[in-house]
Amino acid sequence: MGRFWGDNESDPVKKLDPGLREFLEQETPDNYVPAPDVKQPAPTASPSLSLSSQEADHSSEPKVPAASLYQDGRYADLWKTYKPPSNMDGRTSGVRGAERVVEKHHERGDTVQRAAMENCALENEALTFCFKNGDWKKQIESRLTMCSAEKSTFSRCYETQSKFLQALGYAASLEYDAEKEERIQVHADKLYHQMLDYEKKVKEAKAAGTEPPPLTSLFNPDKKSHVEGVAGTKVEIPGGEAVPPGFKPSKPLIKLTPHERELEIRSYNAQREQQKTYVEEATPFIKSQAEAGTKRQERAVSWFGETIGKWIS
């Protein structure tokens, strides 16, 4: 047999790097050991068995936590290192908390968009059925104009409602509270229609040649308006909101209505606070993930070379 298999001295495994050999041994699957048949009835204890011997046998059985599906002691050796979530150390819980912050940050945009779509359901319905309503003349007109009026109304509703939701802190908390989120969503819709009502009154006052109604803040009605100089022009911003440094609105402030200016600044400040929280909470998690990836790559490169090591890691 020696000329077929060789001897132990020529075993190529011994020539491997100790770290690589340990890794391969860990990855090698254990021999399969079939579990005892659970359908087989357990043997009935003999009546002559004393109570003390039963207690001794029971105490000698391996203990398994309540999380195990087999409470008869099977796989007890695998549960020796098990720690319930409540007993995890602060580092593990901190990493999981940071991971949750990352997930929440990525989900927030979609959540705000869905809520804005719900608040603009009527405008969306009007746009959807624009081509189908009315007689044939109305349908031809809708096709020629591509429903521009309905499209403009829906677009403004969706964009403005999204900013109201962001400014009010919708989906900003890590702990989901359905009642709180619903109140914010309803309040955002209320503020949007208050803005539309004010714009309608201003338009009617101009048409009648009368003074427009006084301008008040949607967020802080008790605060006076703030006049800001922008590009050599003074613009009025309700609620005393100052233009933050580095602020870039969707349109020049001079082309926005006063309430739109206030909303743009409020939404920008809320997003900046959210970004600050995200960076503070998620940086440890992101850093630990990057360090773990670098260590894996370095170990793979030392085993398999630079080209293969970087590819598999």
From 225, 257, 230, 256, select the one nearest 243 (Cα to Cα): 230
Residue-by-residue DSSP string for 201-240: HHHHHHHHT-PPPPP--SS-TTSPPEEEEETTEEEEEGGG
- Give me the pLDDT at residue 60, please: 52
Hey, how many other C-beta atoms are within 10 angstroms of the C-beta on 113? 14
pLDDT digits (tens, 9 = 90+) for 252-302: 888 999 999 999 999 999 999 888 877 776 666 667 767 777 777 777 777
**Cα–Cα distance between 86 and 99 in angstroms, integer?**
18
Distance CA 189, CA 165 (A): 9
Question: Taking the domains of the chain in order of start, what are their residue ranges?
Answer: 91-210+251-287
Residues 215, 239: Cα–Cα separation, whole Å: 10
Q: How far apart are CA 20 and CA 299, in angstroms?
A: 9
Residue-level pLDDT at 47: 43
Quick one: tokens of 79?
A: 């549960």
Tens digits of per-residue pLDDT, 109-122? 889 999 999 999 99
Residues of the chain with pLDDT under 70: 1-17, 19-20, 23-24, 26-70, 75, 78-102, 105, 134-136, 230-232, 281-286, 289, 309-310, 312-313
Cα 224 to its chain centre, rounded Å, is 37
Decide if 171 contacts 112 (C-beta within 8 A): yes
Q: What pLDDT is recorded for position 276?
A: 82
> What CA–CA distance (Å, rounded) separates 291 from 244?
36
Residue holding tokens 């509703």?
157
CB 168 within 8 A of CB 188: yes
The β-bridge partners of 235 are 228
The pLDDT assigned to 238 comes to 92
Give the burial class of 221: count Cβ atoms within 10 A of its Cβ; 0-12 exposed, 13-18 middle, 19 or more buried: exposed
Beta bridge partners of 229: 234
pLDDT, position 53: 46
pTM of the model: 0.60
